[in-house]
Structure 1
Amino acid sequence: MDARRAWQQWTDWVLTTDPAQRLRLSMAGLAALLMVACMLVMNGVAWAGLTARTPVLVWSVLCSTGLVVVYVAIRSGWSQRCADPSLTLPQIVYAMACNAVAYTIAGPARGVTLPILAVILMFGIFGLSTRQMLGVLVYGLVAFGTALGVVAWRHEAGHEPALEIAHAAMIVVVLLSGTFLTTRVQATRQHLRRQKHELTLALEQILRLATRDALTGLFNRRHMLELLERELGRTARPPRSIVLAQLDIDHFKAINDQHGHAAGDKALQTFADVVSASVRQSDVLARWGGEEFVLLLCDTPLGEAQQLLERVRTAVAQAAPRDAGDGVAFTVSIGAAVHTPGEAAERTLERADRALYAAKAAGRNRVVLCPGSAAESATTAAPPPA
């Protein structure tokens, strides 16, 4: 257990505890391990007498310095100010430069550097954009073109022009292949991102269809019942004052009969807009069915709820359906009930519905609170017509 804790502490110090940083440093560490393996191969070539040891040792020091600089830049957080905090492009550019230099100093064994080039490009496939990879292609052609020119200029012992031409052809093939694969991978990633975006939009649309009324944009009956069950279940922890109100547009059938169903739809939309603008942000309005709506008032004392519902009634009476033509107007009757802790939502709605029927029977265009106690017996009626 102590060994595991010590290992965890050590890895946390080396890679940090930030998940994003750990991923960046892990990828940089994998690249460093591959570079170290390449350095071991080059030093093995030198110790075998195929090339001079001093240039290889100097080259190894320069490669190691680059690895340390990259680690420090990422580990310190400095790289996070860059567009790519992983420093993928700088790492590839530096590694390709080291690889091109290795080609010039490897002597007869310079062919071993070609697989290293393929490994370097492999890191660019998933970390670079197509434009960046095209830049790497041009950079690679220039770097290795220079390396090939240096080798040809020095006329080393055992230099075979045909072999150098073969190496040049393989370098071009590797660079082109890496660029092509990067282009295909980027195209696939863009396609997947587009599919993900379209799927997200489709899911949002499905969720909206499942929870919203298509005409008014309000919550539908099924979703409102779910909200009621969830909200009313919290009334006892701690006790909260919750009022449920049933709202019904007066003489709505006459609007449809006299002005057409299009006017009726606009009346419903106007009603939803007016009521939504008259209540608080914490209140929830839903279309219950037809011209009936349900309003949930949370943390609302009875007197405050009565004032709010009267404000809604007045606003509806003063509104006119948008684009519905002259002569179209309507009022609303409202029945409300205070929820009793432990009472089922359906029971509270039944009491609010009885209050709504009482408002209708009393002449419509009024607010009635469900009679159940002296406090709930108040009725607010519209002013009599002049």
Structure 2
Amino acid sequence: MGSRTPAQGGAILDTTTEDRLRQREPLQRLRLGLYSYLLLWAATLLGIRTGLLQADTPHWLLFGAALLVTLLLALQSRYCPGRDPSTLAFPHLAVATALVSALMYYANEVRDMMMFCYFIIMTFGLFTLRLRQLILLAALILCCAGLLDALEWQRQADNKALLPTLAQLSLLIGGLAWFIYIGAHLRLFRRRERQQQLRLAAQQQHLEATNQRLRDALEALEQMAIRDPLTGIYNRRYFMERLHQEVARCQRHPRPLHLAMLDLDHFKRINDQYGHPAGDRVLEQVAEILGSLLRRTDLLARYGGEEFALLLVDLSDSGARQVLARLQQRLADPAVQAILPQPVTFSAGVAAWRPNDSAEQLIERADQALYAAKHAGRDRVASADD
């Protein structure tokens, strides 16, 4: 997918859509020019019939050449979509200038009135050309007008008055200068608008980045609030919240729920013999091993010290015992014991939820089963229902 860029009104446009719109713009402009040529051709035919234009006006040649150039520009725009639209607009307006100048050469009484066609061409250039191209277009119009006056003086040197010609030429120069002045200010406004859009886009990106950092920070704070800082598993506070939720859910819709309390055997020896840093590493490794063997729906938390709490959902009594037996077998694996300072085992007490049991009652029964497992020799699982 293309990147996204800000548009007016706060809307966001995909860059591929924006490029597609930019490619359509020169084609639409050329289509407008085609319609203008056809309308001007019809007016030319009417002028020839009414005598406003000379009967020998080569309209077929003039408009045929203009339409051919328009077709070539359309093909170039179609197969070279990456070009700047202004590079296609300038030759189109230059051809229009040459066409209007040729028609003015064959005009009779309406030649002075047709001078306003130059201003219409400049109006199109005002919104499509760059400032340098607009100046070149004005210079081209002025050259064409000067050439027409020169040809007119050559044909009617005796009957041509100098003052009206100079006045007309001065009016044309003033009008062209006005268009250039307006074009310069228009491009200045567009540049400022573009800079403002870029600033708004930069501010929007900055705000999005800031919001993302805030979301990441909030997520990190949330994880810090529910995770044990040493082992990375859930802490006791979050475990109690989930336990109350699961008990409440079972009270509404009864289903199997087991709570197991696990305590590492003789963990104090590890701290005394190897130091507390070694004991912390053992807790980290045991938590990682136990968590890797559980289902996504199971919940493992550090209940306190070397004691862990395990919440098993939708498992039978035998299924809960099998989970705990699998955890014991994994800890007894020689490959696991090799990375620990000394062999580590755990005692566990498991209790199944009973109707009308509260979370505290379930914890109390699991604790009693844990004490029973320890008194029976450790490294075993005791059930509160036995």
TM range (shorter): 0.5 to 0.7
Moved more, 203-212 or 176-185: 176-185
Deviation at residue 202 of structure 1 after TM alignment: 0.7
Q: What residue in structure 2 maps to residue 330 of structure 1?
A: 344
4+ runs deviating over 6 angstroms: 93-106, 109-117
Larger radius of gyration: 2
Return closer, same or farther for 1:297/1:95 CA change in 2, 3 Å cut-off: farther
Contact 1:100–1:143 (Cα < 8 Å) also in 2? no
2:283 pairs, out of 239, 254, 268, with: 268
**1:357 paired to 2:368:** no
Distance between the aligned counterparts of 2:139 and 2:237, measured in 1?
Answer: 76
Q: What residue in structure 1 maps to residue 337 of structure 2?
A: 320
**After superposition, what is the alpha-carbon deviation per residue over 1:211-234, rounded to whole angstroms, capped at 9, x for unaligned?**
111111111111112212222222
1:228 pairs, out of 238, 243, 246, with: 243
Distance between the aligned counterparts of 1:253 and 1:348, measured in 2?
Answer: 27
TM-score in terms of structure 2 length = 0.59
**After superposition, what is the alpha-carbon deviation per residue over 1:249-300, rounded to whole angstroms, capped at 9, x for unaligned?**
1111221111111111110011111111222232111111111111111000
Return closer, same or farther for 1:239/1:177 CA change in 2, 3 Å cut-off: same
Return closer, same or farther for 1:293/1:169 CA change in 2, 3 Å cut-off: same
Amino acid at match of 1:282: T
Q: What residue in structure 2 maps to residue 251 of structure 1?
A: 266
TM-score in terms of structure 1 length = 0.59
Which structure 2 segments of 5+ residues have no match?
1-12, 22-31, 33-38, 44-80, 98-116, 147-168
Return closer, same or farther for 1:240/1:111 CA change in 2, 3 Å cut-off: same
1:339 pairs, out of 353, 377, 385, with: 353
Say which SS state the counterpart of residue 335 (structure 1) adopts.
Answer: strand
Return closer, same or farther for 1:219/1:98 CA change in 2, 3 Å cut-off: farther
Amino acid at match of 1:159: L
Q: What residue in structure 1 maps to residue 303 of structure 2?
A: 288
1:159 pairs, out of 156, 172, 177, with: 172
Deviation at residue 237 of structure 1 after TM alignment: 4.7
Distance between the aligned counterparts of 1:292 and 1:148, measured in 2?
Answer: 88
**1:240 paired to 2:290:** no
Distance between the aligned counterparts of 1:218 and 1:200, measured in 2?
Answer: 21
Contact 1:270–1:320 (Cα < 8 Å) also in 2? no
Distance between the aligned counterparts of 1:311 and 1:220, measured in 2?
Answer: 23
Amino acid at match of 1:344: S
Amino acid at match of 1:266: R
Q: What residue in structure 2 maps to residue 86 of structure 1?
A: none
Deviation at residue 96 of structure 1 after TM alignment: 12
Distance between the aligned counterparts of 1:198 and 1:225, measured in 2?
Answer: 30
1:307 pairs, out of 315, 322, 328, with: 322
Amino acid at match of 2:381: V
Superposed, 1:117-196 pairs within 5 Å as 140=130, 144=134, 147-148=137-138, 151-155=141-145, 158-160=171-173, 161-196=176-211
**Could you say what the CA RMSD is over the residues aligned between the two structures, in angstroms?**
4.4
Contact 1:248–1:334 (Cα < 8 Å) also in 2? yes
Distance between the aligned counterparts of 2:248 and 2:362, measured in 1?
Answer: 13
**1:197 paired to 2:194:** no
Say which SS state the counterpart of residue 255 (structure 1) adopts.
Answer: helix
Distance between the aligned counterparts of 1:169 and 1:115, measured in 2?
Answer: 9
Q: Percent identity?
A: 34
Amino acid at match of 2:367: D
Contact 1:140–1:175 (Cα < 8 Å) also in 2? no
Amino acid at match of 1:354: Q
Amino acid at match of 1:210: A
Return closer, same or farther for 1:155/1:295 CA change in 2, 3 Å cut-off: farther
Return closer, same or farther for 1:211/1:96 CA change in 2, 3 Å cut-off: farther
Return closer, same or farther for 1:221/1:238 CA change in 2, 3 Å cut-off: same
